[in-house]
């Protein structure tokens, strides 16, 4: 049974007593080690299955481990606890939570329940939810619980900080109401189990006797509460085996604490450390690239992946003029590989840093009728914020789309109740009017009474927007809708990772609008834009099946593998992000590098890395340097375009030429950066918003060639200053984040 394991795997399996840290590199067979170790404990060491606990992070992983153990062990395996952290805690609390003053039949609140409770808390404490968003407050409380910070401790730490004191009051009330309702939220399951163990020595001893042998998978992803739970359980017999890879710790934003794995030997000085470095997934070239990138991290345990697999193909690196060319190349390359019988669609995955990046690829897949699926996210045009803003544009365009109007009538919240809307709908039906036209006549509907006052601002907004169609571009109308509704403002106030992702998607929609204006063969119109979007958004016609290209973020890709991987958008400012680059905390960039390592090690046979010299963000063109992570890969492992290691980068024409067919017309959705490739000459609307006014009222203290400093991007050299309209357009080559175009009044650059 054990002969199919390599020497290090065997050592890990047979080391059954005392604390053990297994550093399992990507694709090194850790699940196989854990299952064989369980078998060894039972069959070789005579351990009763009843005394074994195996902890995983996901139900899927727990199920997989359970199936493997059942297959190998057979009789008696049902006595082993194979569980997620939260499921194990529920079992313990159902039995003993009455010792903490709760009823054993407690309720577990899901996300919606938590939101409802938080609304009640804010109402009770008269908290201004425009300043302190419910989602933000729930996030603060969750983070505190992950770190085992009680409401009392949070209050002590908040002393003297008004905002923190307000959050502390909410935390106390929230927890009090949970207790009153005999309810626990998801984080409480861990916190209350730790509290129970510390509060009741008898209960702790009971479970320490029960679980004499403990194994924890994905240990690098544990938070402080999970660490403490495991520490308490293992404290008596110390037969604790943790498996993880510090190089794949990428969930800090969820509360994961990498110190748990890095400092394991400090907590358990007698711990044995075994490294699993033999990889069974990838070619040696891919592993060499991954090893060289991750070696630049300081906060890690040294290890180097190797394989008995062949060296394989070099990594294909391609740099393009624009993000449109990048998407076009990737899709064409996948189609060519499938056509030549080298792979199927299901063998291919496109990985990117942020969800917003999926748009260009999705549009190209729809146009070329290629099957795809966005995993771990929603198709771009199906995302709530995109549908909301498109519904506004549809209503402004004609107002006859009742679904669109009904979608946005209370976005943002206007306090128009369902009963009022029902009466408007009835009136519309009786008078044979569209829903929007009925709203315009709200004063004539006798049954709605004072509610008409709440409808008027919505109608005024739409009518105002309609009056501007003649002289504003599509992107400007979209921007006005965003500004007037306060859509982005509300998301900023939430201050959550989800809200940030939604803002990135909105920025991408603005970029789409500008791209449409620049590529339209006829004069761009709002109707034309909505038609184009409708064509690419209609993905229902795509045939569902198992053979499709997968699109996902790098975070979603962890634990998966694909024969062909495309790492897209490898540019400084995008990956790693600007915020990471300019952060004072060096651990931020290390987390990003670990994410890159995860991306590289998803590839089994072929890895393509791509980037663009220029990319549109919020409708403005940004010029980005090749990602520093790409530059950390030795040139000997790469083929394709230049990677900018001091040598001259290939020209735009050189990098783009192989991907266009001579004489072919470029789809307007995917217009490339070269002027000669565009199907039109004139640009009806410019993406910049200069007017005929002069810049005489503005004076600059710097000029081309001067060194300047930006509050966010740091220092750089002024490349160009262009006078135009109400403001100057300044191009700066920043030392850390590459070239940026910005308006002088907004940039607030200081000469250094």
Listing DSSP states for 418-462 in one string gives HHHHHHHHHHHHHHT--HHHHHHTGGG-GGGGGGHHHHHHHHHHH
> For 200-322, where are the alpha helices, taking DSSP H only?
201-210, 224-234, 259-262, 264-267, 284-294
Q: What is the C-alpha to C-alpha distance for residues 13 and 20, in angstroms, rounded to an integer? A: 10
Catalytic residue among 188, 218, 347, 532: 218
The secondary structure element, H or E, covering residue 501 is: helix 497-519
For 497-630, list the strands marked E by DSSP: 549-553, 562-567, 603-617, 620-623
Catalytic residue among 30, 275, 314, 394: 30
Catalytic residue among 173, 217, 246, 532: 217
Asked whether 618 and 510 are in contact (CB, 8 A), the reply is: yes
217 counts as catalytic? yes
Which residue carries 């905390």 as its tokens? 585
Asked whether 302 and 275 are in contact (CB, 8 A), the reply is: no
Catalytic residue among 114, 248, 284, 307: 248
Beta strands 549-553 and 372-374 are: parallel
602 counts as catalytic? yes
Three-state DSSP state, 479: helix
- Tell me how far the alpha carbon of residue 710 is from its chain's centroid: 27
Which residue carries 């403990």 as its tokens? 214
Spell out the residues 6+ positions from residue 508 whose beta carbon is closer than 8 angstroms to its own: 356, 357, 359, 380
717 counts as catalytic? no
Q: What is the C-alpha to C-alpha distance for residues 142 and 149, in angstroms, rounded to an integer? A: 10
Angle 390-392-395 from CA coordinates, rounded to 5°: 110
DSSP class of 660: S
218 counts as catalytic? yes
> For 125-185, where are the alpha helices, taking DSSP H only?
134-146, 151-158, 162-180
Catalytic residue among 10, 16, 31, 688: 31
Q: What is the C-alpha to C-alpha distance for residues 349 and 548, in angstroms, rounded to an integer? A: 9
665 counts as catalytic? no
30 counts as catalytic? yes
φ/ψ of residue 538, rounded to 5? -80, 80
Q: What is the C-alpha to C-alpha distance for residues 218 and 222, in angstroms, rounded to an integer? A: 7
Listing DSSP states for 353-411 in one string gives SSGGGHHHHHHHHHHTT--EEE-SS--GGGSHHHHHHHHHHHHHHTS--HHHHHHHTTS
Tokens of 748: 């607030």
φ/ψ of residue 274, rounded to 5? -125, 130
Burial bucket for residue 172 (CB in 10 Å: 0-12, 13-18, 19+): middle
Catalytically annotated residues: 30-31, 217-218, 248, 602
């Amino acid at each position: 049974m054990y002969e199919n394991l390599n020497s290090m795997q065997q050592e890990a399996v047979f080391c059954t007593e005392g604390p053990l840290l297994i550093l399992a590199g990507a694709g090194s067979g850790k699940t196989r080690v854990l299952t064989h170790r369980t078998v060894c404990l039972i069959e070789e060491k005579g351990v009763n299955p009843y005394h074994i606990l195996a902890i995983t992070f996901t139900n899927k992983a727990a199920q997989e481990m359970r199936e493997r153990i059942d297959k190998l062990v057979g009789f008696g395996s049902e006595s082993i606890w194979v569980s997620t952290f939260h499921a194990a805690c529920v079992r313990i609390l159902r039995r003993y939570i009455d010792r903490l003053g709760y009823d054993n039949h407690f309720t577990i609140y899901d996300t919606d329940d938590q939101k409802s409770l938080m609304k009640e808390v804010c109402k009770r404490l008269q908290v201004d939810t425009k300043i302190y968003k419910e989602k933000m407050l729930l996030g603060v409380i969750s983070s505190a619980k992950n770190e085992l910070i009680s409401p009392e401790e949070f209050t002590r730490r908040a002393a003297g900080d008004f905002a923190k004191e307000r959050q502390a009051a909410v935390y106390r009330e929230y927890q009090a109401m949970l207790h009153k309702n005999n309810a626990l939220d998801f984080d409480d399951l861990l916190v209350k189990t730790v509290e129970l163990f510390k509060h009741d020595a008898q209960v702790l001893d009971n479970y320490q006797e029960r679980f004499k042998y403990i194994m924890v998978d994905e240990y690098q992803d544990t938070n402080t509460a999970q660490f403490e739970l495991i520490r308490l359980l293992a404290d008596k017999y110390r037969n604790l085996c943790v498996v993880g890879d510090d190089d794949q710790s990428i969930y800090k934003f969820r509360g994961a604490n990498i110190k748990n794995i890095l400092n394991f030997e400090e907590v358990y000085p007698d711990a044995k450390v075994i490294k699993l470095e033999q990889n069974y997934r990838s070619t040696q070239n891919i592993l060499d690239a991954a090893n060289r990138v991750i070696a630049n991290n300081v906060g890690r345990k040294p290890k180097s992946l190797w394989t008995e697999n062949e060296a394989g193909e070099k990594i294909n690196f391609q740099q393009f003029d624009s993000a449109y060319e990048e998407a076009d190349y990737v899709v064409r390359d996948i189609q060519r590989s499938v056509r030549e019988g080298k792979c199927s669609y299901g063998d291919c995955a496109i990985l990117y840093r942020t969800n917003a990046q999926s748009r260009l690829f999705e549009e190209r897949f729809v146009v070329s009728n290629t099957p795809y699926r966005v995993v771990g996210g929603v198709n771009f045009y199906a995302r709530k914020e995109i549908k909301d803003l498109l519904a506004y544009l549809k209503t402004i365009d004609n107002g006859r789309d009742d679904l669109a109007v009904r979608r946005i009538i209370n976005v943002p919240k206007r306090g128009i109740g369902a009963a009022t809307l029902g009466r408007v709908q009835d009136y519309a039906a009786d008078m044979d009017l569209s829903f929007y036209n009925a709203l315009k006549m709200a004063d004539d509907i006798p049954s709605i009474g004072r509610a008409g006052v709440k409808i008027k601002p919505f109608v005024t907004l739409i009518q105002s927007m309609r009056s501007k169609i003649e002289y504003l571009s599509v992107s400007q109308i979209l921007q006005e809708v965003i500004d007037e509704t306060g859509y982005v403002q509300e998301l900023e106030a939430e201050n959550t990772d989800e809200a940030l992702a939604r803002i990135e998607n909105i920025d991408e929609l603005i970029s789409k609008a500008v791209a449409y204006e620049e590529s339209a063969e006829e004069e761009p119109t709002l109707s034309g834009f909505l038609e184009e979007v409708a064509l690419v958004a209609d993905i229902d016609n795509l045939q569902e099946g198992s053979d499709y290209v997968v699109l996902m973020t790098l975070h979603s890709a962890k634990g998966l593998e694909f024969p062909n991987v495309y790492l897209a958008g490898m540019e400084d400012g995008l990956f790693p992000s600007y915020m990471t680059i300019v952060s004072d905390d060096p651990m931020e960039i290390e987390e990003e590098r670990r994410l890159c390592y995860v991306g590289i090690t998803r590839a089994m046979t072929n890895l393509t890395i791509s980037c663009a010299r220029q990319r549109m963000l919020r409708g403005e063109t940004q010029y980005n340097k090749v990602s520093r992570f790409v530059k950390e890969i030795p040139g000997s492992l790469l083929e394709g375009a230049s990677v900018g290691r001091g040598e001259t980068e290939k020209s735009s024409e050189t990098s783009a030429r192989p991907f266009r067919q001579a004489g072919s017309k470029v789809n307007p959705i995917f217009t490339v950066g070269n002027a000669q490739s565009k199907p039109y000459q004139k640009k009806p609307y410019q993406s910049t918003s200069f007017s005929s006014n002069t810049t005489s009222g503005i004076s600059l203290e710097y000029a081309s060639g001067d060194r300047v400093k930006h509050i966010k991007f740091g220092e750089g050299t002024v490349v160009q200053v262009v006078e135009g309209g109400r403001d100057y357009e300044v191009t700066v080559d920043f030392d850390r984040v590459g070239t940026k175009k910005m308006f002088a009044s907004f940039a607030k650059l200081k000469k250094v």
